[in-house]
Amino acid sequence: MATANLQFKTNYAVSSKIEPFYKGGKVQISNDENYIFCTCGSRVNILEISTGKIVHSIEHDDQEDITCFALSNDDELLVTASRALLLKQWDWKQAQCVRSWKAIHTVPVASMTFDSTTTLLATGGCDGTIKIWDVVKQYCTHNLKGSSGVVHLVQFHPDINRLQLFSSSLDCGIRLWDLRTSQCVCVLQSHFSAVTSLCFSPDGGTMVSSGRDKICTVWDLETQTVKRTIPVYEAVEGVVLLPNDQDYSQIGVKSKDLHFITAGSKGVLRVWEATTARCVYIQSLLSSPTSVSEEEEERDADPRSLTFLLQLPKSCRLATVTAEHNILLYQLPALTTLQQFVGYSDEVLDVKFVGKGDSHIVVATNSCQLKVFELLTNTCQILYGHSDTVLSLDVFKKGCMFASCAKDRSVRVWQMDSDSGQVRCVAHGSSHTNAVGSITCSRLKASFVVSGSQDCTVKVWDLPADLTGPDTDVHQLTARCTEKAHDKDINSVAVSPNDKLLASGSQDRTAKLWSLTREGNLGLLGVFRGHRRGVWAVCFSPVDQVLATSSADGTTKLWSLQDFSCLKTFEGHDASVLKVIFVSRGTQLLTSGSDGLVKLWTIKTNECVKTLDAHQDKVWGLHGSGKDDKMVTGSADSNITVWVDVTEVEIEEEQAKQEDQILKQQQLSNLLHEKKYLKALGLAISLDQPHTVLTVIKAIRQGEDRHELLEKTLLKLRVDQKESLIRFCAVWNTNARNCLDAQAVLHVLLTHLPPEELLQYQGARTHLEGLIPYTERHMQRIGHLLQASMFLNYMWQKMRVAGAPASLGQDEDMDTTPLGQNQPFFVIDKEGQGKDGGDAGNDSGQDEDPNCLEDDDDDIIEDEDDKDGEVSATNKASTNQERIENGNGVSANGNHNSESEEDEDTFPQSEVDDITVRKSVKSLPLSAAPECQTVSS
């Protein structure tokens, strides 16, 4: 099955993504005409027109939806308003918030605009008020009241000397505000529905308004009266004036009179002459939608309708936004289509590579239109033809022709021009009685297509020998044969590489194999049974007599075409497996599922070698390129992802990384040996390995002048290295073994660096807050240890050594000096007996440094402080109490033996001592040792 020297694929990397960037709301184009600003939920996305890529994305920290935004005329300032009633001013090129302030509005801001000098900002709220802000001096200059309902439109007069603001709200009137007096000068009444846009003549004396009442009104602003009312017979969403300094004869402009362009519910641009109220030009679209009835034209949610019309005067272009969130750019004066960007694709149902060198992808979304993206620029062609949702796609071998099927019970064949990249429909067939859910093309040459439908039938459609002809010619296809193939919906059909066999998969849990002949009906060869739920996809191996099927039961199976037996079963998806394709010359499989995952399988070992997690929902589309070096996936999360095979590149990079790691480890060892601690610490931090950095810190703290050396080394680090060190300290501090090293580092940083500088470090606040609870636990533990050491010292003072004078130690006050500072500590042998004959609680035979906690003590401490350990809080408490009580027992026994000659009627000295010890322990002060001071800092 496998080729001897074939290199298996092991990984895919994301090459590019086509993501939603606009889901409705305001759209604005920068004054330099290079960027498109548009809202997408809680973000404002900035799209670069030349590349079609999202270059910046602005989002509020609270992740509240952005209700409106405005870009200044100099393209420097961007102000956004969110549902949290905050206004934020952005340096959008750096994606940084410069300042924020409360909007004062009691409800969200609905509209916003800058004046021509970028000094004043007007905000219209849903509370019916308008605020004017001085963005330079940062204060509110006007509070204009009087509008009824939501103020959905605010616009300054282009002549700033007039200091006028126009607004419109739910009462359909246009209010003219004089900003000198903060008064409403007049209300221009003409529209009987929402006013959607305003545009002004160059001299500022004439204004044109548009509304959803299907009229446009020409106003004389000097007299504040209506000059002409023009019926346009569609709900108008945008209007722009044509400048009179150019020749627009191509679009019907024959005079120097005032002309304007409207965009609205009919989805086309129209040019109007204001003086005669005539429509002088109607745009003809390259890909015209299918004809619809008048009732359908009146629907409010017509996907063809236009919602915005924007003017780009410097480049003589227009931009429109459709109800389906597509942004189209047209070139004046001919109104030819330049670019189309798809803002939101909804659920992606299928996706395929097309064009020379897989330069394009064709996408079927939850729409009746097909979208063809150019991968280099992300520009898109929108193909009209189907009248209902397109469900499936397939591509012919040469890649310049593809077929589609839809819920409208039809199939269509499309052809791409190899030079211009333009796509047109060349053939159409419709004889199914229900939605067509799957389609497949012939493999050898473009001779036929096969469709499978919810009517349980399979149809074979022969294509004409010559599909060339005028752009308007669409060949009508007739089904060569129709076969009742399954008992339930047919989900998938596939043609074998030699065009002789056909496979079909159905909701009836079976897949079937058919013979394809030029004459007569399809011939059933066999049935593949074994799936427990419906079969979603079928695919022939490119080299072997094997069929792959994927099912809603979460499995993928390989079947023999000779005896119809199941050869292998692949299990790994948590939900339905929606697509399966062969890669690596038939030696590997790619599967996609409802769990949003794409898995790569090696057939020989029956092993999943890679799981790709790039989608959040069902991956309906999965297709490999002709060269087998990349693939494309499309998901119900609206994302389209192009993947590149990076197996060889990844292997080389991994080898180089390992070699570099070994080299740096050797270099680090040499630097530590040479005691070049600064370079060693910098190298360890660059490796981003906390344990390696800790090794260097421990090496520094082993020297004689360890405090001075550590301080000298740490303060010479760069800012980014100190940031990493604080992050590592938060990790070390969680373990009692390493807490002293972490606290020593923190002591240096907190002592020598001002708080304001520390808080500027990335993540410093989070890391420092995480240090507090563990540091408190370490302090408590060390406090308990100090109490225990005081207790042992007390017992040492009270114990009588055999042969010593009777007066020794009777009336002495307790010496609270920690052991090991003023008195030598008695040495314990391996059996636990002191050389002086006393019991011992320490199994170390050497003098200990009181500032260090090592060996067995560390084991106890680590168990106590490890939050993920097996020791519970109750056990830790009982363990500490047992240690104190055992110490008391030793003391009592010692005193009892020394006082054995006391009168039996007197109170036992052991009990007296025991009571005294317990009271003393409770009242002992917590004296701070040197290391305790480090911990507390």
- Residue 744, classed as helix, strand or coil, is helix
Question: What is the mean pLDDT of the segment spanning 707-726?
Answer: 86
Q: What is the pLDDT of residue 652?
A: 63
Which among 164, 159, 160, 168 has a CA at the least distance from the CA of 190? Answer: 168
Q: What is the pLDDT of residue 310?
A: 94
Q: Which residue has the tokens 């180089």?
A: 656
Q: What is the pLDDT of residue 761?
A: 83
pTM above 0.75, yes or no: no
Percent of the chain with pLDDT over 90: 45
pLDDT higher for 929 or 446?
446
- Residue 191, classed as helix, strand or coil, is coil
Q: What is the pLDDT of residue 11?
A: 85
The DSSP H or E segment spanning 755 is helix 755-758
Q: Is the pLDDT of residue 861 over 60?
A: no
Question: What is the mean pLDDT of the segment spanning 759-763?
Answer: 80
Q: What is the pLDDT of residue 286?
A: 54
Q: Is the pLDDT of residue 44 over 80?
A: yes
DSSP-derived secondary structure letter, 50: T
Question: What is the mean pLDDT of the segment spanning 849-874?
Answer: 38
Which among 632, 650, 647 has a CA at the least distance from the CA of 17? Answer: 632
Which among 351, 360, 358, 354 has a CA at the least distance from the CA of 378? Answer: 360
Angle, CA of 152, 154 and 160, to the nearest 5°: 175
For the domain 15-252, what is the CATH code? Answer: 2.130.10.10
Which among 108, 106, 103, 104 has a CA at the least distance from the CA of 89? Answer: 103
Angle, CA of 410, 412 and 413, to the nearest 5°: 160
Whether cis (ω within 30° of 0) applies to the bond prior to 818 is no
Domain ranges in the chain? 15-252, 667-781
Q: What is the pLDDT of residues 730-755, one digit of tens each?
A: 888 888 888 888 889 888 888 888 88
CA 877 to chain centre: 46
Instruction: Say which range, 92-96, 560-564, 598-602, has the weakest mean pLDDT.
Output: 92-96
DSSP-derived secondary structure letter, 502: E
pLDDT higher for 31 or 707?
31
Q: What is the pLDDT of residues 256-278, one digit of tens each?
A: 889 999 999 998 999 999 989 99
Q: How many CB atoms lie within 10 A of CB 819?
A: 19
Angle, CA of 156, 158 and 160, to the nearest 5°: 80
- Are 14 and 615 contacting, i.e. CB atoms less than 8 angstroms apart? no
Q: Is the pLDDT of residue 299 over 70?
A: no
- Identify the band that residue 111 occupies on the pLDDT scale cut at 50, 70 and 90: very high
CA 937 to chain centre: 39
- Identify the band that residue 518 occupies on the pLDDT scale cut at 50, 70 and 90: low
Q: What is the pLDDT of residue 435?
A: 94
DSSP lists the bridge partners of residue 292 as none
Termini Cα distance of the chain: 67
Q: Is the pLDDT of residue 142 over 90?
A: yes
| Backbone φ and ψ of 575, nearest 5° | -150, -165
Q: Is the pLDDT of residue 487 over 90?
A: yes
Q: What is the pLDDT of residue 888?
A: 41
Q: What is the pLDDT of residues 218-236, one digit of tens each?
A: 999 999 999 999 999 999 9
For residue 690, give the amino acid letter: P
DSSP letter string over 360-382? EEEEEESSSSEEEEETTT--EEE
Q: What is the pLDDT of residue 95?
A: 85
Q: How far from 656 is each of 809, 880, 905, CA to CA, in Å?
A: 71, 52, 85
CB burial readout 236-268, b (16+ within 10 A) else e: bbbbbbbeeeeebeebbbeeeebbbbbbbbbbb
Percent of the chain with pLDDT over 70: 81
Question: What is the mean pLDDT of the segment spanning 829-851?
Answer: 39
Q: What is the pLDDT of residues 525-548, one digit of tens each?
A: 999 999 999 999 999 999 999 999
Question: What is the mean pLDDT of the segment spanning 507-531?
Answer: 89
Distance in angstroms (rounded) separating the CA atoms of residues 496 and 503: 8
Q: Is the pLDDT of residue 332 over 80?
A: yes
Tokens of 231: 């019926």
Q: What is the pLDDT of residue 511?
A: 95
Q: What is the pLDDT of residue 392?
A: 95
Q: Is the pLDDT of residue 910 over 50?
A: no
Q: How many CB atoms lie within 10 A of CB 557?
A: 23
Which among 557, 539, 546, 537 has a CA at the least distance from the CA of 619? Answer: 537
Question: Where does 164-318 have alpha helices with state H?
Answer: 294-297
Q: Which residue has the tokens 């209902």?
A: 388
Q: What is the pLDDT of residue 363?
A: 95
Question: What is the mean pLDDT of the segment spanning 63-80?
Answer: 91
Q: What is the pLDDT of residue 921?
A: 37
pLDDT higher for 705 or 641?
641
Q: What is the pLDDT of residue 735?
A: 85
Q: Which residue has the tokens 């260097």?
A: 696
Tokens of 730: 């938060």
Tell me the three-class secondary structure of 818-861, residue by residue: CCCCCCCCCCECCCCEECCCCECCCCCCCCCCCCCCCHHHHHHH
Q: How far from 125 is each of 65, 140, 307, CA to CA, in Å?
A: 15, 14, 21
Residues in Cβ contact with 207 at an 8 Å cutoff, skipping those fewer than 6 apart: 166, 198, 199, 200, 201, 218, 219, 221
Tokens of 488: 């339930």
CA 614 to chain centre: 10
Question: What is the mean pLDDT of the segment spanning 183-205?
Answer: 92
Q: What is the pLDDT of residues 79-99, one digit of tens each?
A: 999 888 889 999 998 888 889
Q: What is the pLDDT of residue 875?
A: 42
Distance in angstroms (rounded) separating the CA atoms of residues 502 and 12: 30
The DSSP H or E segment spanning 768 is helix 764-798
Q: What is the pLDDT of residue 835?
A: 37
Can you say whether the dihedral through the CA atoms of 156, 160, 162, 163 is positive or negative? positive
Question: Where does 804-926 have alpha helices with state H?
Answer: 855-865, 873-898, 909-923
pLDDT higher for 296 or 118?
118
For residue 20, give the amino acid letter: P
Helix pair angle (764-798, 873-898), 10° resolution? 20
| Backbone φ and ψ of 192, nearest 5° | -115, 10
Distance in angstroms (rounded) separating the CA atoms of residues 656 and 899: 76
- Are 321 and 327 contacting, i.e. CB atoms less than 8 angstroms apart? yes
Residues in Cβ contact with 451 at an 8 Å cutoff, skipping those fewer than 6 apart: 405, 411, 432, 436, 438, 439, 458, 459, 461, 493
Q: Is the pLDDT of residue 404 over 90?
A: yes
Q: Is the pLDDT of residue 40 over 60?
A: yes
Q: Is the pLDDT of residue 808 over 60?
A: no
- Residue 32, classed as helix, strand or coil, is coil
Q: Is the pLDDT of residue 916 over 80?
A: no
Q: Is the pLDDT of residue 295 over 90?
A: no
- Residue 246, classed as helix, strand or coil, is coil
Tokens of 46: 């900035």
Q: What is the pLDDT of residue 843?
A: 39
Q: What is the pLDDT of residues 360-379, one digit of tens each?
A: 999 999 889 999 999 888 88
Q: Is the pLDDT of residue 868 over 70?
A: no
Mean pLDDT of the chain: 81
Largest CA distance in the chain: 133
